[in-house]
A and B are shown apart, each in its own frame.
Chain A
Amino acid sequence: MVLNDRTLGVAALLLSAFLAWFGHGLEAAFTYEPVGPRAFPLLLATVIGLCGLRLVVKGGNPAAPNPPGANSRIALMVALLLVYAGLFQWAGFVLATAVVSACVGRLFGGSWLQCGIGGTSLSVLFYVLFDRLLDVVLPLGWLEGLL
């Protein structure tokens, strides 16, 4: 798929339709004000729709293509981020951060040894800094019994 202003325009039109479709049914059971909860979203849907229309008609401005092999790496990075999001609370901050940091570090050119040591120290350091010193409570997850 080519990314250009026309793609963006189509996406904007879809978003506008989505906002309008779910927005027109928004009504308060009783209200004391002349403008209800749906006016503002519908106004925005109109603006987004008009912008989308303009972009579709005008077109142009194709995005620079990614270098070969980049898309799969970027997809891998997104997958790692989702794994991190999933593990964060369940497995705990320290474990999730150590593992995911090591893998992300690999994508950015570190060796396994560097990334392993880096990820582990990062997770411990941040845990002590935020949870213990700054009072930002982080989940312990699987390590709950140990620490």
Chain B
Amino acid sequence: MSAMLDNLSLGFGVAFSGTNLLVALIGSFFGTIVGVLPGLGPTNGVAMLVPIAFAMGLPPDTALILLAAVYVGAEYGGRITSILINVPGEAAAVMTTLDGYPLARQGLGSVALSLSAWSSFVGSLIAIVGIAAFAPFLAQWALAFGPAEYFVLMVFAFCALTSLLGEQPIKGVLAAAIGLSIATIGVDANSGVYRYTFDIPHLADGLDFVVVVIGLFAVAEMLQMLENKLSGQSVEVPPSQRKLFNLRELRLTSGSTIRGSLLGFVMGVLPGAGASVASAVAYANEKRYIEDKDPDAKFGQGDMRGLAAPEAANNSAATGSFIPMLTLGIPGSGTTAVMMGALTLYNITPGPVLFEQQPALVWGLIASLLIANMMLLVMNIPMVRVFASMLSIPGWLLVPGILAISFIGVYAISATTFDLMAVVAIGVIGYLLRKLQMPMAPMVLGVVLGTMMEQNLRRALSITNGDVTILWASTVCTILWVLAAAVVLGPMGYRQLAKRRRAQETAP
């Protein structure tokens, strides 16, 4: 305990220097803006700043603090467009749309924004305490995860997701499978074989996540808005009556926030799982947990607990993903991978000895994560007013605005007309699929995780030369399979039971 306090005081000594504070402030603000823009996520934000930080000659601890602040800021920013216009700013914010946008449509946009800023803060805070207390220990545990365990973990994430779709899990499975198939487009990394590219050079790298997400969310949403307008529903989200969440809402969501944070932290520590999986699992978990107890829960229609849990989880996972990076040298997410690249520019190799060799760097980073989070909370609560004023924009200006920002986001990736056309095509398909009540979240998660899932499966099978028993050989795998089965079969059995009970009650 005293060692932890010593370490933290060393860290705060580094973080509280004038330059580092200023850098954390600039980083969090820039990160928030990057997070708001659909298409630009934390990875892009950090990647943009690495060369700038290096060129400016910032010392390694300052550079790392800047990049970490951008990362945390982008995780905060990603939720803003999810809530206000149903377009996730980045992958981990997809779950936030499920309850955040319905809340905004009920005139609670500002409440949702401020509440999610709070749960993001709590999520990060819990993860920071977790890093300080358990980093070296957790790193050892994460080492036990081999490719087979990762594959089964992802199967579990999909099972958890499809179970949150209530009445029609089959559509969830279908959506996830379609998403995973989209991820197979492009050159296969292992064999160099072109898959489903049909000699179109633009498809060699596959369809980018941003192209899919803008199509399925932004373009499909615009078509949906047009349909709603023609059937006499209002296009605009009503402005909020209240700006901040109240004490009752805070109490209602505090359990969800803490559960989401703890779960997110554990998922963040697992290298590769990352914030998108964490927020999906946290949402599914919370939905089941709450709905068992509270029949009035309205998940998917604007339940604040459905907003708090994934928001806490994604920030907690983002912070937790520093553990494998710092202790093992294995990046826990795409963004930490970029940050590791930045460290190597300074001739610093993250790994088991980093905590001993560079304590000031490591603990300074941990302390400044905390400071960046506080700055973001302070910055975000007053800015809720600014963000929420987006809602009073009339439809004839709002929709072209969303359209232009979406197209800019897509164009920024590869600067081709092909991607823009693909976005429109995917948007039309997405609109039709939505009319058929297909859930979009599993599809997007499939696109995000597809490559990783396939790679882990193939790696696992390579180890055993094709023997599939490796997929349930270890204890971790077995536990994950049991959890996955429980998540799928549990609600089904529960529904059957409820049906039987109802039949018995109505029977004479």
**Which residues of A approach B to under 8 Å, CB–CB?**
3-5, 7-8, 12, 15, 19, 22-23, 26-29, 31, 33-37, 39-41, 44-45, 47-48, 51-52, 54-55, 61, 63-64, 66-67, 69-70, 73-74, 77-78, 81-82, 84-86, 88-90, 93, 97, 100-102, 104-110, 114-115, 118-119, 122-123, 126, 130, 134-139
Contact = CB atoms under 8 A, between A and B. Distances in A.
Nearest to A66: B227
A89 B191 contact: no
Given A44-B181, A48-B181, A130-B408, A64 B435 contact: yes
Contact of B230 (A64, A73, A134): A73
B436 A4 contact: yes
Contact of B420 (A55, A85, A122, A137): A85
Interface string B385-410: 00000000011111111011101100
B190 interface: yes
Given A90-B417, A101-B403, A126-B404, A110 B177 contact: no
Contacts, number: 203
A15 B417 contact: no
Nearest to B419: A85
Given A51-B173, A73-B226, A119-B400, A28 B436 contact: no
Contact of A138 (B184, B396, B411, B458): B411
Contact of B227 (A15, A34, A70, A101): A70
Nearest to B34: A134
- Chain B contact residues: helix, strand, loop or mixed: helix
B184 A40 contact: yes
B411 A110 contact: no
A33 B190 contact: yes
5 contacts: A40-B184, A61-B436, A70-B230, A101-B401, A137-B415
A74 B227 contact: yes
B465 interface: yes
B412 interface: yes
Interface string B25-62: 00000000100000010000000100000000000000
Interface stretch (B130-138, B272-280, B282-290, B424-432): B424-432
Contact of A51 (B174, B188, B421): B174
B401 A7 contact: no
Contact of A27 (B193, B396, B458): B193
4 closest A-B pairs by beta carbon, nearest first, are: A110-B396, A34-B466, A28-B191, A101-B400
Nearest to B427: A81
Contact of A108 (B235, B408, B432): B235
Nearest to A46: B177
B461 A12 contact: no
Nearest to A45: B181
Nearest to B167: A61
Interface of B: 33, 40, 48, 168, 170-171, 173-174, 177-178, 180-181, 184, 188, 190-193, 195-196, 219, 222-223, 225-227, 229-232, 235, 394-401, 403-405, 407-408, 411-412, 415-417, 420-421, 423-424, 427-428, 431-433, 435-438, 454, 457-458, 461-462, 465-466
B152 to A, nearest CB: 15
Given A85-B407, A93-B408, 16 more contacts: A3-B435, A8-B174, A8-B436, A23-B195, A35-B458, A37-B188, A40-B184, A40-B457, A69-B230, A84-B407, A85-B421, A104-B403, A109-B396, A115-B396, A136-B408, A138-B408
Contacts of A7: 436
A67 B417 contact: no
A27 B194 CA distance: 10
A34 B177 contact: no
B193 A26 contact: yes
Nearest to A40: B454
A88 B226 CA distance: 22
A86 B457 contact: no
A76 to B, nearest CB: 9
Contacts of B431: 74
A104 B191 contact: no
Contacts of A15: 178, 181
Residue with the highest number of chain A CB atoms closer than 10 Å, among B181, B411, B431, B438 = B181
A22 B396 contact: no
B223 A85 contact: no
A27 B407 CA distance: 36
A89 B417 contact: yes
A79 B278 CA distance: 38
A114 B396 contact: yes
A123 B405 CA distance: 10
Given A88-B417, A118-B396, A123 B177 contact: no
A90 B415 CA distance: 11
A55 B399 contact: no
Contact of A67 (B231, B412, B435, B454): B231
Given A5-B436, A138-B408, A82 B421 contact: yes
A78 B195 contact: no
